[in-house]
């Protein structure tokens, strides 16, 4: 769930704070609800069936359904990879490293980590760096203090609605469904009760972090330039001094790599499972999906705009996997007594519908 607050999510939160101060805090806290119920269903499926979503769909439905699932999952992977690489480009850009050096380097490191297949030490390092990053951002917030802005506001302004959708996409990400089910399936001794408890804690922690980054953005100058790495660095320096931009850059890159590891583990597994391929092929699937991420950021002069657009796109990509997760979680033939009923069933479908609705009104 910490990986769910990835580099793209951090940038989305900061951009929301710069644009609308504390106005979206109510919405970020409200997102705890759909984040919890959607992730809970995916985790419950893994805990009960001991199978990942791709494998389960192929067995419970048909190979054709598995293939149909693999397509949006692969699209979600590519979109997520592009967003993370764009964020890595921003992070390195704060240190003055150009894209033509930072993105190929990120690709080599990413592929190398996936090829090794051992993630425990990588996760520990990245979580430690992320922890330092969060503490540094927290210190900057304390220095700035709580500003006199309202935390509850709504506007029909297209930019406001667009940021609502971007935050929804940044929180309830398709790749997290596959990671949640596969990781839970492989974790010995996991029960439905423990899944619900851990997912609730993760959902609350994720959204509190998003609120913190929004508040960090709200403390930046009103006309901060977030479209360039140098502009982001200047805005951060105005909040927390000369050190904060570099701490932010390191944390942003660490958050991106933590998410990249999770995407490689979860979504690549989901694709090969849905296609009925051996898990060993996940490395090649992940590598192929990553290639566009090295190229596409070069085509966009404003990487933050690219990240925000991709977050909205993920809302729509979530629809297909989300419907399948809801159907599987509510099927008593698959889930037995743990199948979604009553409150849990209604809460899941309402959560998925609310997230997709945010994307629809943003487009309209």
346-363: b (≥16 Cβ within 10 Å) or e: ebbbebbebbbebbeebe
Choice between 65 and 1, residue whose per-residue pLDDT is larger: 65
Choice between 318 and 72, residue whose per-residue pLDDT is larger: 318
- Tokens 């743990």, located at residue: 338
Alpha carbon 360 to chain centroid distance? 19
pLDDT at 1 over 70: no
- As a residue count, the chain comes to 364
Mean pLDDT of 348-363: 94
Q: Where are the domains of the chain?
A: 7-363
Choice between 210 and 281, residue whose per-residue pLDDT is larger: 210
Greatest mean pLDDT range, 107-116, 176-185, 285-294: 285-294
Give the pLDDT of residue 309: 94
Mean pLDDT of 107-123: 77
Residue 3: pLDDT band with limits 50, 70, 90: low
pLDDT tens readout for residues 18-74: 999 999 999 999 999 999 999 999 999 999 999 888 788 878 877 777 777 777 778
> In this predicted structure, which of 6-10, 110-114, 132-136, 161-165 has the lowest mean pLDDT?
132-136
Mean pLDDT of 122-148: 78
* Residue 236 DSSP symbol: H
pLDDT tens readout for residues 240-284: 888 889 989 998 998 888 888 877 766 676 777 777 777 677 778
Q: CA-to-CA distance for 119 and 113, rounded, in angstroms?
A: 7
* Residue 336 DSSP symbol: G
Choice between 282 and 96, residue whose per-residue pLDDT is larger: 96
307 touches 89 (CB < 8 A): no
pLDDT at 188 over 90: no
Q: Report the CATH superfamily, name and number, of domain 7-363.
A: Amino acid/polyamine transporter I (1.20.1740.10)
How does the average pLDDT of the chain come out, rounded? 88
Alpha carbon 50 to chain centroid distance? 24
Choice between 65 and 100, residue whose per-residue pLDDT is larger: 100
pLDDT at 311 over 80: yes
Residue 119: pLDDT band with limits 50, 70, 90: low
> Which residues, 6+ apart, have CB-to-CB distance to 257 below 8 Å?
84, 88, 106, 109, 110, 113, 122, 126
User: What's the pTM?
Assistant: 0.91
Q: What percent of the chain has pLDDT over 70?
A: 96
Q: Provide the token pair at 276.
A: 């009925």
The DSSP line for 67-113 is: HHHHHHHHHHHHHHHHHHHHHHHHHHHHTT--HHHHHHHHHHHHHHH
Determine the number of helices (DSSP H) and then strands (DSSP E) in the chain: 17, 0
């Amino acid at each position: 769930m910490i990986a769910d607050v990835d580099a793209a999510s951090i940038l989305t939160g900061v951009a929301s704070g710069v644009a609308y101060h504390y106005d979206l805090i109510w919405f970020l806290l409200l997102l705890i609800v759909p984040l919890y119920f959607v992730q809970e269903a995916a985790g419950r499926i893994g805990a009960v069936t001991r199978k990942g979503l791709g494998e389960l769909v192929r067995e419970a439905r048909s190979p054709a359904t598995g293939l149909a699932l693999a397509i949006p999952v692969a699209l979600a992977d590519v979109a997520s990879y592009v967003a993370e690489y764009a964020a890595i480009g921003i992070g390195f850009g704060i240190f003055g490293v150009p894209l033509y050096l930072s993105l190929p380097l990120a690709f080599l490191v990413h592929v190398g980590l996936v090829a090794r297949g051992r993630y425990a030490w990588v996760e520990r390092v990245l979580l430690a760096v992320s922890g330092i990053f969060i503490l540094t951002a927290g210190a900057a917030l304390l220095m700035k203090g709580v500003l006199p802005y309202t935390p509850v506001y709504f506007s029909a302004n297209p930019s406001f609605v667009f940021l609502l959708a971007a935050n929804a996409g940044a929180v309830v990400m398709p790749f997290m469904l596959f990671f949640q089910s596969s990781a839970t399936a492989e974790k010995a001794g996991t029960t439905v009760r423990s899944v619900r408890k851990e997912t609730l804690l993760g959902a609350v922690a994720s959204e509190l972090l998003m609120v913190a980054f929004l508040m960090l953005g709200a403390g930046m100058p009103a006309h901060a330039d977030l479209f360039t790495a140098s502009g982001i660095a200047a805005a951060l320096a105005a909040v927390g001094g000369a050190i904060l931009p570099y701490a932010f850059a390191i944390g942003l890159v660490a958050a991106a790599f933590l998410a990249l590891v999770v995407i490689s583990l979860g979504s690549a597994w989901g694709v090969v499972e849905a296609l009925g391929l051996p898990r060993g092929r996940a490395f090649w699937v992940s590598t192929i999906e990553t290639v566009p991420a090295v190229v596409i950021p070069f085509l966009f002069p404003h990487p933050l705009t690219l990240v925000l657009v991709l977050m909205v796109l993920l809302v729509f990509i979530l629809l297909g996997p989300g419907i399948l997760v809801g159907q599987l979680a509510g099927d008593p033939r698959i889930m037995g007594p743990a199948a979604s009923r009553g409150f849990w069933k209604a809460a899941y479908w309402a959560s998925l519908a609310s997230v997709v609705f945010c994307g629809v009104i943003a487009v309209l």
